[in-house]
Structure 1
Amino acid sequence: MSADDDFRTRVGTFKEAHLRWVDRVRGIVAGREKVTEQEIVGHTECALGKWYYGGGERQLRNLAEFRAIDAPHQQFHHAVRATVGARNGGNLAGARAKAELVERISHEIVAALDQLARRVSATDAVGERRRTGAPISRAA
């Protein structure tokens, strides 16, 4: 497996995890699942956060596409916690509104991860061409 394949797999895992949380939030709002605010991990404690503030930051911090993930990711965790708090506090309307925010932010994170993956793939392709002496096209 190449480094590019490994990176794409990792990004896919992060996207799936955030989309699963959207489904969980729907279940929480509908009353099918009960979660406390304390059970919601912080943005530095989930798999994406651990990678982002660890190896990802060391390798990719200079890329705007990488930095674009940070704010929505923090907002996502805050919105999930707020949704749970509203639902557990009996504020169903507030929980629904926050759940919509969770979904919007999740789509933002997925789009940002896709942009980062494209950038890393293009950067890797250019680097490989430079290493091998192959022509560098404008598409890469």
Structure 2
Amino acid sequence: MESARQNHEIFVRRLQNEITEGSHQVRLEDLKDHHTCSLGHWYDSFGMKNFGALPEFVALSEPHREFHQTAKDLISAYSGGDQATTEKLLERVLALRDVIFQNLDALSAATQKSHQGPNL
């Protein structure tokens, strides 16, 4: 789970750098969705098979999907010069990141109670 957390944190920093510094390193067509990032791969395969019945696991799905969609919307708004929408969407990405991290922590705690690590 630490790997998923780090990957999403790095992604958020890249988004922030794109917005604040105009680094032009984040292209809309290169953004992954909630199925193709490392957490998504794990979620759709090993996670679903082993933890699909846990509410803590299920709780990850929607904020993770929304995180990736909002990131795409953010880059689109930024590329189109819509500063107000860009700022709102960046705030939303940060909030969703925090929700995902809280859900990962809850899942980790739930799996440790059952003595199964999440193997992520």
- Preserved CA contact (<8 Å) 2:8 2:97: yes
- Preserved CA contact (<8 Å) 1:24 1:33: no
Residue 35 of structure 1 deviates from its aligned partner by: 2.0
* Letter in structure 1 aligned against 2:11: W
| CA deviations over 1:34-69 (Å, ceiling 9, x no partner) | 322111111100000000001110010000000000
Aligned Cα RMSD in Å? 1.1
Q: Which one has a bigger Cα radius of gyration?
A: 1
Task: Tell me what 1:88 maps to.
Answer: 79
1:31-70 residue pairs with structure 2 within 5 A? 31-70=22-61
1:28 and 2:2 correspond: no
For residues 16 and 34 of structure 1, what CA distance do their matches in structure 2 show? 19
* Letter in structure 2 aligned against 1:99: L
Question: With structure 1 as the length reference, what TM-score do the two structures score?
Answer: 0.79
Segment of structure 1 superposing worse, 50-59 or 92-101: 92-101
Choose which of 63, 67, 75 in structure 1 pairs with 2:66: 75
Residue 76 of structure 1 deviates from its aligned partner by: 0.3
* Letter in structure 2 aligned against 1:121: Q
Residue 32 of structure 1 aligns to a residue whose secondary structure is: coil
Percent of aligned pairs sharing the same letter: 26
| CA deviations over 1:85-110 (Å, ceiling 9, x no partner) | 00111112211110110000000000
In structure 2, the gaps of 5 or more residues are none
1:100 and 2:82 correspond: no
Segment of structure 1 superposing worse, 15-24 or 104-113: 15-24
For residues 109 and 27 of structure 2, what CA distance do their matches in structure 1 show? 37
Segment of structure 1 superposing worse, 116-125 or 54-63: 116-125
Question: With structure 2 as the length reference, what TM-score do the two structures score?
Answer: 0.91
In structure 1, the gaps of 5 or more residues are 1-10, 126-140
Count of aligned pairs between the two proteins? 115
For residues 79 and 99 of structure 2, what CA distance do their matches in structure 1 show? 26
